């Protein structure tokens, strides 16, 4: 089997150019099956330590930049585990998710490929109203783009997050990562979503803000008093939220992604926005979701994600790799959290006749103390935290606080709706 290999060629003492070259793939060099004691005491802890060691070890650039680790290890969520590692140059999360689905089959029909969600077409409207709506949309788009891009550049150039328990005083650096994950119900998210007439992303961002607020209040040893609220309000905390820039926001068929002229191409097609996190002690836990929606609606109604993608691409092509690294370090050193969310399969799938129980995704190697990745799979949501242990020594507790916040929000909307029915 032949596939591209990323190769660096020297162009002088300081100039290095990376290019793709074809190479022969030896599958045995990419599939690792470690010898694991079947009677291990804490398999979940072993998995966390194993993925941490994987993150610390560099990838061998003499072969294609991917590998699979097959662990005969029964954990709390699965009978065995497959850990895949890909270099980001191969593609972003949506590309890799399309590749996964192309290699899988439905569990209910082992000969059938998974179903791909077709984007919904917008409803038609009267031509007069459509012109007015189009004009008003352009006005709002230009306004929000100017405002959000200006704020983004000010943050990157001048503003830095305050020193909080989410960030050390010198800024986040690349160090030991700890990967942990939890699974909760997508139906619980949809209960809150439908009750508040918002999106799943709005709810997840609100849940993260609520969890971080509770975590910081505990680390600051605060209670819900006026003075403690003011302490949290003084902290400016920004997160980097990544956007999929493809026209189809759902998982694309791999064959279509590979077609010439496809609008949803394979590769890296992601932008980012700098998201001001609402970190406060709120009596009404649903306020975190409302704040997330207000901010995210402004971001969606701007070209900030496209601008950020173009800025990174321009920096790489014109100024080179060193300038790109400096820009990326500047972005992450001035923020505290990375948040990503990838939609997964909407039906149960199997991989070479092995039923997949869950999918947990994350990234490593970025100079950030906390990365929160949300991954959906059928009726599950998998939250994966990648943390710098020097910054967040208790990631399990942080994860529990985030999930507890969702449960509190669900209870709040159920109680609110029941009161409406009684009235």
Catalytic residues: 88
DSSP one-letter string for 69-92: EEE----SS-SSEEEEEE-GGG--
Question: Do the beta carbons of residue 365 and residue 85 sit within 8 Å?
Answer: no
Q: Which tokens in the block code for residue 312?
A: 């990174």
Report yes or no: 238 and 274 within 8 Å, Cβ to Cβ: yes
d(CA 42, CA 135): 60
CA dist 223 and 213 (Å) reads 11
Buried b (16+ CB within 10 A) or exposed e, 327-358: bebbbbbbbbbbbbbbbbbbebbeeeeeebbe
Cα-based distances in Å from 361 to 86, 114, 137, 330, 385: 11, 19, 35, 25, 9
Q: With contact defined as beta carbons under 8 Å apart, do 285 and 405 qualify?
A: yes
Residue 319 DSSP one-character state: I
From the CB of residue 8, how many other CB atoms can be counted at a distance below 10 Å? Answer: 10
Query: CA nearest 275: which of 313, 330, 331?
Result: 331
CA 220-223-228 angle, to 5 degrees, is 65
β-bridge pairing 354-355 and 370-377: unpaired
Distance, CA of 272 to CA of 318 (rounded, Å)? 20
């Amino acid at each position: 089997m032949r596939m591209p290999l990323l190769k660096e060629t020297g162009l002088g003492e300081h100039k290095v150019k990376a290019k793709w070259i074809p190479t022969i793939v030896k599958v045995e060099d990419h599939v690792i099956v470690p010898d694991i004691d079947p009677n291990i005491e804490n398999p979940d802890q072993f998995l966390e330590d194993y993925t941490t060691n994987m993150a610390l070890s560099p990838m061998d650039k003499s072969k294609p930049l991917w590998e699979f680790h097959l662990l005969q290890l029964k954990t709390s969520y699965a009978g065995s585990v497959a850990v895949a590692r890909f270099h980001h140059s191969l593609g972003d999360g949506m590309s890799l998710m399309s590749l996964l689905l192309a290699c899988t089959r439905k569990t209910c029909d082992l000969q059938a490929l998974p179903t791909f969600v077709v984007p919904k077409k917008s409803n038609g409207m009267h031509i007069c109203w459509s012109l007015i709506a189009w004009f008003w949309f352009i006005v709002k788009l230009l306004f929000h783009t100017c405002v959000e891009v200006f704020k983004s550049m000010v943050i990157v150039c001048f503003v830095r997050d305050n020193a909080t328990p989410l960030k050390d005083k010198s800024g986040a650096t690349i160090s030991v990562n700890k990967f942990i994950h939890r699974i909760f119900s997508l139906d619980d998210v949809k209960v809150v979503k439908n009750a508040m007439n918002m999106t799943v992303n709005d709810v997840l961002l609100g849940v993260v803000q609520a969890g971080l607020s509770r975590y910081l209040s505990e680390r600051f040893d605060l209670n819900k008093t006026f003075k403690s609220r003011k302490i949290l309000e003084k902290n400016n905390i920004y997160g980097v939220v990544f956007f999929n820039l493809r026209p189809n926001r759902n998982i694309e068929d791999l064959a279509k992604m590979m077609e010439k002229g496809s609008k949803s191409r394979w590769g890296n097609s992601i932008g980012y926005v700098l998201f001001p996190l609402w970190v406060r002690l709120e009596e009404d836990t649903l306020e975190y979701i409302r704040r997330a929606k207000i901010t995210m609606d402004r971001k969606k109604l701007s070209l900030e994600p496209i601008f950020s993608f173009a800025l990174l691409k321009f920096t790489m092509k014109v100024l080179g790799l060193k300038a790109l690294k400096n820009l990326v370090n500047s972005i992450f050193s001035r923020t505290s959290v990375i948040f990503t969310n990838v939609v997964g399969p909407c039906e149960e799938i199997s991989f070479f006749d092995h039923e997949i129980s869950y999918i947990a995704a994350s990234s490593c190697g970025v100079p950030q103390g906390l990365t929160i990745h949300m991954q959906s799979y059928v009726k599950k949501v998998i939250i994966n935290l990648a943390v710098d242990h020097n910054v967040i020594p208790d990631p399990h507790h942080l994860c529990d606080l985030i999930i507890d916040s969702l449960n509190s929000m669900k209870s709040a909307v159920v109680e609110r709706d029941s009161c409406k029915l009684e009235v």
